[in-house]
Amino acid sequence: MPLFDRPIRTGTPNIGDRATLHRLLDEILDRRWLTNNGPVVQEFERRIAEYLGVRHCIAVSNGTVAIEVAVKALGLTGEVILPSFTFVASAHALSWVGLRPVFCDIDASTYCIDPSRIPALVTDRTSAIMGVHVYGRPCDTAGLGAVGHAAGVPVIYDAAHAFGCSHDGAMIGSFGACETFSFHATKFFNTFEGGAITTDDDCLAEELRRCRSFGYADGSRASGSVGTNAKMTEVSAAMGLVNLDSIEQIIQRNRENHTAYREGLDSIAGLSVIPFDLDERNNYQYAVLEVLEPFPLTAGELMRRLERENVFVQRYFAPPVHRQAPYLAAVGSAGRALPETDGLAERVVALPTGSAVSPDDARRIASFIAGIA
């Protein structure tokens, strides 16, 4: 018999109070205002901006589109420097709008892009630097800001992993020219499907709103510039409001699961659950296990072993982006210049957490893994 009689999965959606969601859906249907910057989207944007302590939140249809809209609003051209240790959407969004991703290695201590390696990659085609907050652990924002200032280019952030996290006492969402979020169903905070861009720049916010809605300024009946359709629906915003009301309970469950994994695995030779800075706010969405010798299995072997027990984990991020087909030919031998990225991708497994996983489930998984040693 497997360890569980039901699938236990990484990334199972969190769902807030259903009665509140049903009430909001009835109100939306009664108004017959389903999209086009309706009152629920406006309330959602206000609540998110307030939660993150930023001036502007621009809600969009998903996190990939959030990056596309952000770089178009900033008028970027040429190349953008970013890490390869990220979900492929970070690079795809750039490529889709005609930019060239240039991959930089990560800092072994943060798992985020290493500012010290960026200057060697800057050329006259570089138009921006994109940091990616990995597992909710923040980039070196001061280091990236200094490098961006020296190169004369803006710094933007893919914060898909970091909603609800802070850095140096400020909520992630307030750094750089802007930050983008994914509210996909697998994220700890979801709107079914959705995303957002946050910024303190009034002019940029105005351009972001035009770009997400066919080039229309809010309230205008005529398009003033080329734009796309990246709007969030009222239904997605309703789910977001419901989950925002439940966010502290979800974070608490994530924290309990993370603690259970750490208590069960950190004493096993070759295993460690990646920690968080306890002086900052964390969402604890990612309970990431790093697998090294002398543990008898590789990360990939452990994943397959767990699947036989009905435990389905993820390898964030294996393979890293520069090892995937759309970029492999263009990058060529650049993989040899990203040793930290390649090494980490071989060592990590993201264990199940979230409201569908109990601390007892986490303890059973940890006990099973420890028993392999």
CA distance 354 to 191: 15
Query: Which pLDDT score is estimated for 241?
Result: 98
Q: Domain residues for 325?
A: 246-372
CA distance 207 to 229: 14
Confidence of residue 329 (pLDDT cuts 50, 70, 90): confident
CA angle 253, 254, 256 (to 5 degrees): 65
Rounded to 5 degrees, φ, ψ at 32 are 60, 30
Edge-to-edge strands, sheet with 155-158: 56-60, 195-199, 178-182, 155-158, 126-132, 79-83, 100-104
Query: Which pLDDT score is estimated for 349?
Result: 98
Write the pLDDT tens digit of every residue in 88-135: 999 999 999 999 999 999 999 999 999 999 999 999 999 999 999 999
Residue 13 has pLDDT above 80, yes or no: yes
Query: Which pLDDT score is estimated for 337?
Result: 79
Query: Which pLDDT score is estimated for 307?
Result: 98
Distance of CA 263 to the CA centre of its chain: 26
Residue 248 tokens read as: 């502290």
Block residue for tokens 């072997």:
301
Residue 220 has pLDDT above 70, yes or no: no
Decide if 344 contacts 85 (C-beta within 8 A). Answer: yes
Q: Domain holding 131: CATH number?
A: 3.40.640.10
- Domain ends where: 219, 244, 269? 244
Same domain, 326 and 186: no
Same domain, 129 and 275: no
Query: Which pLDDT score is estimated for 331?
Result: 60
- Percent pLDDT > 90 in the chain is 94
Over residues 188-214, the mean pLDDT reads 97
List b or e across 102-118, with b for residues whose CB sees 16 or more CB atoms inside 10 angstroms. Answer: bbbbbbeebbbbbbebb
Decide if 364 contacts 3 (C-beta within 8 A). Answer: yes
List b or e across 335-358, with b for residues whose CB sees 16 or more CB atoms inside 10 angstroms. Answer: bebbebbbebbbbbbbbbbbbbbe
Residue 62 has pLDDT above 50, yes or no: yes
Write the pLDDT tens digit of every residue in 134-147: 999 999 999 999 99
Largest separation between any pair of C-alpha atoms in the chain: 66
Query: Which pLDDT score is estimated for 175?
Result: 98
- Provide the pairing of β-strand 170-171 with 178-182: unpaired
Q: Domain holding 362: CATH number?
A: 3.90.1150.10
Mean per-residue pLDDT of the chain: 96
Decide if 132 contacts 162 (C-beta within 8 A). Answer: no
Same domain, 214 and 290: no
Query: Which pLDDT score is estimated for 263?
Result: 98
**Is 11 within the bounds of a domain?**
no
Same domain, 236 and 317: no
Query: Which pLDDT score is estimated for 334?
Result: 47
Lowest-pLDDT range of 39-48, 220-229, 281-290, 354-363:
220-229
Block residue for tokens 């960026």:
118
Confidence of residue 373 (pLDDT cuts 50, 70, 90): confident
Number of domains in the chain: 2
Residue 332 has pLDDT above 60, yes or no: no
Query: Which pLDDT score is estimated for 23?
Result: 98
| DSSP single-letter state for residue 220 | -
Confidence of residue 59 (pLDDT cuts 50, 70, 90): very high
**Is 53 within the bounds of a domain?**
yes
Query: Which pLDDT score is estimated for 140?
Result: 98
**Is 9 within the bounds of a domain?**
no
Write the pLDDT tens digit of every residue in 161-193: 999 999 999 999 999 999 999 999 999 999 999
**Is 302 within the bounds of a domain?**
yes
Residue 336 has pLDDT above 70, yes or no: no
Over residues 318-345, the mean pLDDT reads 83
pTM of whole model > 0.85? yes
- Domain ends where: 244, 265, 299? 244
CA distance 63 to 245: 21
**Is 307 within the bounds of a domain?**
yes
Write the pLDDT tens digit of every residue in 232-252: 999 999 999 999 999 999 999
Rounded to 5 degrees, φ, ψ at 156 are -120, 165
- Domain ends where: 196, 211, 244? 244
Supply the angle between the helices 63-73 and 89-96 in degrees, to the nearest 10: 40
